[in-house]
Amino acid sequence: MILFTEYPGYDGWYNNPTNPNWGAADMPLRRLVPPAYSDGSYKPSGHNRASPLELSEAIMKGETGHRSFLNRTVLMTFFGQQVVEEILDAQRPGCPPEYFNIPLPEGHIPNAPKDFQMPFLRTRYDMNTGYSPNSPRQQLNEVTPYLDGGLIYGTSKAWADALREFHGGRLSRSHRGNYPHENDIGLPMANPPPPAEAHNHTLRNAERFFKLGNPRGNENPFLLTFGILLFRYHNYWADYFAARQPGWNDEKIYNEARKWTIAIYQNIVLYEWLPAFLNLQETPSYSGYNQHVHPGISHVFQSAAMRFGHTLVPPGVIRRTTQCEYIKTTVHSSYHPNKDAKSGHHGIRTCNSYWNPQVTILEHDIEPILLGMASQITEREDNIITEDLRGMVFGPLEFSRRDLMALNIQRGRDHGLPDYNTIRDYLGLGRKESFEDINNVGNNSKSAIDKNIIRRLKNISGNIDNIDVWVGGLLETTSDGPGELFHHVILDQFLRIRDGDRFWFENINNGLFTRHNITTIRNTFLKDVVVAATDITNDDIQYDVFHYNKGDPCYDVGEAMDLLIINSTSMEECTKIHTFDYFTGSEIAYLVSFGAILLWIFACVLLLIILSKATRWWKMKEQKRRAVQQSMEHISNILTYTGVKEWRGFDAPCISVIVALGAKAITVYGKDFNEKRHVINLNNTKKLSFYITVDQGCRYFRVKMEKEYDLVLMFSSRVSRQKFIGDMEGFLGSLKIMIKTKELTHDMMLFGSITKQQRQKTLERFFRTAFAHALSQDLDPSDMDTVCWSAEIAQEVLGCRLTKQEFAEALSMQPKSLFVEQMFEVVDKENFGTISFRDLLDMLIIFAKGSPEDKLRLMFDVYDIGRTGTLSREEFKAMLKSMLEGMSGTIEQDSVEELIDSMFEKAGFKEKDNLNFRNFLKLMGEHKKHFDRVYIGVAGGNYREEKVIPAYPATKGGSLRRAETLIRAYKQIEGKKENKYRRTLKDLRYVKTVNAKYSRTSFERRILATTRFIENNRLRIFHLVLYFLVLFGIFAERAYYFTIEREHAGLRQIAGYGVSITRGAASAMLFTFSIILLTMCRNLLTKLRQTFLNRFIPFDSALAFHKIVAFSALFFTIIHCIGHALNFYHISTQPADDLLCLFRDYFHRSHELPKFQYWLYNTITGFTGVLLVIVTAIIFIFSSQYARKNSFNLFWITHNLYIILYILMMLHGTGQLVQRPFFHLFFVGPAVVFIFDKLVSVSKKKVTLIVKRAELLPSNVTFLEFQRPSHFEYKSGQWVRLSCPGMGNTEYHPFTLTSAPHEDTLTVHVRAVGPWTTKLYHLFDPINLKGLSYPKICLDGPFGEGHQDWYQFDVAVLIGGGIGVTPYASILKDIISKTNSNSRISCKKVYFIWVTRTQKHFEWLTDIIREVEDNDKTGLVCVHLFITQFYQKFDLRTTMLYICERHFQKISNRSLFTGLRSITHFGRPHFTSFLNSVQKHHPDVKRFGVFSCGPPGMTHNVETACSELNKYGTAGFVHHYENF
């Protein structure tokens, strides 16, 4: 007894309880024969078979219009199509798409592009198959093989519910009548482009379709007719049960109506349609349900046998009424573009009705179509296929018409079907021995196949064992229908479907029907369904709707009208094939988008340059403002004239100037007094020449002075000129200067003027010629206008005279300098107030070829101010001061007095106040050798600058000079009881060194240098190599995955290796952008470098590593962007269906064709990608050295965009455009550490510190002393980040602590070089404070760096340049503290080198150095000061300062210029020589620590010196540096 009714399911699962997946939807097709994949696993079979298109053209082409042998109707043919749709759907392409395109034979499509192919996509398959011959690829059937009403109700509960009305058990109806409801909810119905509209290149909205259980049910009006018929038939049963069973609810009525509809459909298919299709007397009887029968659709059935129906398809279908009237087509019958061509035909053309079925249906409803199909005899059972299928079936937009027969052949190969004979053999049907045996050609009266067809096949294929099963099976066709092979496969399939279906209507055990019900169903046929569901009556249609014979309704009328069968010539033509480029519509967006990105990058660079120049302009403006203010104060009592322009030559525009008369000079200033452009010194001037123009408005005025270039002024009017001339005459008259005035025409005046440019050219020739003569050099022809000067030019050079102003400029000194005035007076032998060519040449010859006595004589004469022949003590003092004027140097008065007294006393002139030349020679006798190579530095000269500062006897040869180096080192002098640690002259030794004779070759030295480099940087090299190996591994893993493991994935096939590179680059980017956070964890790095890990990890290189990671991130970002530029192009060229497959998370309706702009701007991946490029460009461009140097604020602001960058990166991956996001796998760890580190910094920043003392030091240095926070521990050489809330922002800037760890307060020295530091300088200016308390500051740190490890080396060399000495201030203080406390210091010697422009720049450091000297009882520290703002090393002025410095050092044990006991040098240090000297002074030390901090140029020179010395293998120099 059955307690409840189990209705059939939708998806086929558990139809067979023993094997629940048998017959389920989306399960693999069943193989009756083993596959024949070319590789045994998945590659298509038949690679050596004939072209599918060639076979179609040769075997299946022919005239249509031949009647079926058995008078089968078109109704039977199209009913067969919907039967196939009911049990089989294996058409959907695989995902990712795999193209197996069909090459076009030459001339197949006229004017087709070269290599044009018919698109073909391989079908979906079980992704767990196809990896080996043991598990070959298995294609899927997306519907159940059962006759369970899937094409009416769908194959899922969700789909079925979408079709229901949920009232009275009915299916939902359209508002347009008794049709299924329109697809307004967007069910994923198949929606290829209608080929009749292919000329429009558009896709139509699937909402126009009717909702059916079969996604492909709207393919053509004939298939749709059956869908509507069965829809109505279900509602017929629903109304029937609702009327007779008022107690049933909607669900019960629906399920009962569905049960009866399915059962009757099963009966029609198996017991009515199948016998007609196979020409059976009757279907084999049902013996009951068999759970061991697999109902699955076989590959041979799907790919070949069931496609036999294609030969029966007519080119069109007629429509008739119940009154036997045949309906002609109208303009509303199809979408054919030619209105005239589509009207007046009796048939609806099959090829032009694809995917536009509603047009025909809605014109006259389904009844005329049903009657027409039942009254039309189908095509003959033969090999000929109508062109509506063979060449004109629908296709994608890019190929609107395809050949279905070629697709049939290609589908069999896609599924790996063996050849025709192999399948026959496996099925026990026997092999065919020859082509003629296929259909017994010539001896088979039932075959309509011409023997020429067999001959063509033989010529094309060549071998009976090398033909496709579809071709061979089709050629077996007889008048009975399918041949032996197809008949066997089809019958077997339907019997298995019936016998393996537990819910088959005849299975009395399933409880669905009683025996009486089964009898009723068995007696219900398709005619009964048509009559029940339509307005057609029993008399309007024949009983056997699958055959049409004499005596059936309207047969005679149709025969008389010759409409029992129609051919293609009696209907409209099929529309032509059209192609389509999917990139159409994306071109402009593509170019504009990537052009805009490039433009954005260029704009960022341009903005950076503009803002940097604006910043420099602002600084210059401030400097000019101050200069103007000073100038205004200077000229407050001087006559000035504005509104005047200076004429500078024919090739240069006039510029506005201000002319000032006063202080015995005519001075021309630039606009707003921003510069002095021209000064005419009127001292010793007797006369001037005025020239005025008498034409063109009389506005020009020229002042001419001998040996000067002319001053040509242009006034706004004649009146203003006259006023100026009048004032000028009065001014010159007061100076008793004679004026000669001459009137000229405008052209004569200007052509006769000597411009500044001409004067400079003359001076250049003047100096070059003078130096060439003095040094016995030949003139360089490139310096002359021509190879030989003309007599005129030579005369000009020889007649040229230098003014004092020009002479001062040549010496790079001020005209009022005592040295300039006295030297000028000595050289100007004739007292003309100018220097002639001969005067200058005499001076240069003295310096070039003269003896030391000659040079000393010149110096004596220069400073013999009164020309008395003696040099007084005051004049000697004036000489020293004048030599310091150009170098901003100063000497204390007491030191000068002590120096002069000592020098006079040593020479035996203690009682003398005046020295003659002989006395002067004796005074300088000890130092005379220093004057051997002395010269006078003149602009335009060609003296060679040496790299070291020697002091050589005149007798030494050049080779020996080059081999010697001046060694400045301290040596402890023992045995001196009065002061054990006093440094005397003996500490300053000239150590003679000669070039060593190294046995190693240059190659060996390079190897040694490389070895030493690796040794010194082994940790950095190891971790750098490790980093790049990991980075490459991450890149390679993704690249390999998409190249090999995803080789046949759709995106890989579309984009090629581009997707492999972009995915590899993307993974590398994720790693670099994550790991870069760790390099910015300053607190963590500072703590870790104090642990044992510092021996294995170079934490001091965090900043350099940060830059390396950033550059590698930028590199992979560029690769990723370029790759995606190509990938987006490829994506934009793909069909919409392929894109739905590739990007499943980016759903779009089937009528929507995503363009490039959609992917870039309408997807989260694309849009965030654009934003990422924008943000990345900003960050990296404004992180450049140029940006940090010229506009640090921009660097600071833009670098803080990293938060937005990481947010966008996370959002970028959530789009899952290509793969699941895994940024978090790289990011989470570093992000947690970074956030924790930031929280530590924030906790420190919350505490504001009180500034206890602030001072403004020379060189715009701000000294700040502030309270030390509790528990603030640091080491000497460490740095902090400071912020000042009083400045109105939260910017933090790094500064090295200049205080020592033992001090109770913290100090920093901040030089004003940028906007923030300048603002800080002014903020703490006492004038601006106006007695208020100091602003508070916030502190972040401390942070470690390499300088704090100075004590780890036996000998440490500390080199500071400019403000870069700040870390060493702390270290030096720390040394003092540890020395005084008798703390053990592992370092045995510390050399401190301070390179500064002048000693004034950082005078605050001298106090620290002095304290070091006073407390350094063990001689641990050796200090060397290099003052770079001095002239070249062998310049006369510098040499004299050296002499004085060394003498003063000897007598007082301290420097004349700094007051320190440290050695002072003039000029830039030669680090190679210095470090070489240190190495020789410590021969037992194997590793020297060199620490430098300063400008990049200096640290680079130090690095070069260390690398150079590391070549020779005596010792290693390990260099740590920081730049500012």
pLDDT digits (tens, 9 = 90+) for 663-678: 778 888 877 666 777 7
pLDDT at 866 (0 to 100): 64
pLDDT at 50 (0 to 100): 93
Does residue 603 or residue 946 have the better pLDDT? 603
* CA-based max dimension of the chain: 160
Query: Residue 1132 above 50 pLDDT?
Result: yes
Q: What is the DSSP letter of 377?
A: B
pLDDT at 492 (0 to 100): 96
Q: pLDDT tens for residues 271-293?
A: 999 999 999 999 999 999 999 99
Tell me the three state secondary structure of residue 639.
Answer: strand
Q: Could you give the residue ranges of the DSSP H alpha helices within 1150-1255?
A: 1156-1161, 1164-1181, 1185-1190, 1192-1199, 1202-1214, 1223-1245
pLDDT at 365 (0 to 100): 93
For residue 292, what are the contacts with CB-CB under 8 A and spacing of at least 6? Answer: 18
Measured distance CA(1405)–CA(1421) in Å, rounded:
15
Pair of tokens at residue 1431: 């002239």
- DSSP result, 23-77: T-TTEEPBPSS----TTSSSS-S-TTSPPHHHHHHHHS-----PBPTT-BBHHHH
Nearest to 1231 by CA among 1260, 1271, 1203: 1203
Check if the beta carbon of residue 359 is closer than 8 Å to that of residue 335.
yes
Average pLDDT, the chain: 80
Strand partners for 739:
688
Q: Per mean pLDDT, which range of 312-326, 398-412, 1323-1337 is the poorest?
A: 1323-1337
pLDDT band at 394 (very low <50, low <70, confident <90, very high): very high
How confident is the model over 1225-1244, as a mean pLDDT?
81
Q: Could you tell me the pTM of the whole model?
A: 0.66
Nearest to 230 by CA among 257, 191, 190: 257
Strand partners for 1337:
1249
How confident is the model over 2-8, as a mean pLDDT?
75
pLDDT at 739 (0 to 100): 85
Percentage of residues of the chain with pLDDT beyond 90:
30
Does residue 441 or residue 1465 have the better pLDDT? 1465
Alpha-carbon separation of residue 647 from 653, 657, 724, 753, 1152 (angstroms):
7, 10, 16, 10, 71
| Burial of 122 (C-beta count, 10 Å sphere; 0-12/13-18/19+) | buried
pLDDT at 1394 (0 to 100): 81
Q: What angle do CA 848, 849, 851 make, to 5 degrees?
A: 115
pLDDT at 1159 (0 to 100): 81
Phi, psi values for residue 198, rounded to 5° = -60, -25
Measured distance CA(879)–CA(896) in Å, rounded:
11
Locus of tokens 């799907």: 302
Check if the beta carbon of residue 319 is closer than 8 Å to that of residue 304.
no
Q: Per mean pLDDT, which range of 329-338, 1070-1079, 1093-1102 is the poorest?
A: 1093-1102
Does residue 204 or residue 935 have the better pLDDT? 204
Measured distance CA(1016)–CA(1518) in Å, rounded:
6
Q: Per mean pLDDT, which range of 494-498, 608-612, 772-776, 1388-1392 is the poorest?
A: 772-776
Does residue 329 or residue 1510 have the better pLDDT? 329
Q: What angle do CA 339, 344, 345 make, to 5 degrees?
A: 105
Task: Give the range with max mean pLDDT: 291-305, 587-601, 941-955.
Answer: 291-305
Task: Give the range with max mean pLDDT: 199-213, 403-417, 855-869, 1480-1494.
Answer: 403-417
Query: Residue 657 above 60 pLDDT?
Result: yes
Tell me the three state secondary structure of residue 618.
Answer: helix
Query: Residue 962 above 70 pLDDT?
Result: no
pLDDT band at 881 (very low <50, low <70, confident <90, very high): low
Q: What is the DSSP letter of 862?
A: H
pLDDT band at 1000 (very low <50, low <70, confident <90, very high): low
pLDDT at 1278 (0 to 100): 80
Strands 1463-1466, 1421-1427: pairing is parallel
Helices and strands of the chain, counted as H and E runs: 51, 35
Q: What is the DSSP letter of 380?
A: -
Percentage of residues of the chain with pLDDT beyond 70:
78
Measured distance CA(1149)–CA(894) in Å, rounded:
95
For residue 880, what are the contacts with CB-CB under 8 A and spacing of at least 6? Answer: 891, 896, 899, 1440, 1441, 1444
Measured distance CA(351)–CA(573) in Å, rounded:
9
pLDDT band at 864 (very low <50, low <70, confident <90, very high): low
Task: Give the range with max mean pLDDT: 156-170, 1308-1322, 1340-1354.
Answer: 156-170
What's the number of CA atoms in the CB half-sphere (13 Å) around residue 433? 0
Q: pLDDT tens for residues 233-283?
A: 999 999 999 999 999 999 999 999 999 999 999 999 999 999 999 999 999
Pair of tokens at residue 595: 């052009």
pLDDT band at 956 (very low <50, low <70, confident <90, very high): very low
| Burial of 309 (C-beta count, 10 Å sphere; 0-12/13-18/19+) | buried
Query: Residue 923 above 60 pLDDT?
Result: yes
Measured distance CA(28)–CA(35) in Å, rounded:
13
Strands 655-662, 639-646: pairing is antiparallel
Measured distance CA(177)–CA(365) in Å, rounded:
10
How confident is the model over 528-553, as a mean pLDDT?
95
Query: Residue 998 above 80 pLDDT?
Result: no
Tell me the three state secondary structure of residue 1392.
Answer: strand
pLDDT band at 442 (very low <50, low <70, confident <90, very high): low
pLDDT band at 214 (very low <50, low <70, confident <90, very high): very high
pLDDT at 419 (0 to 100): 95
Alpha-carbon separation of residue 465 from 57, 304, 421, 438, 800 (angstroms):
21, 17, 6, 12, 108
How confident is the model over 1341-1365, as a mean pLDDT?
78
Q: pLDDT tens for residues 103-117?
A: 998 877 777 777 788
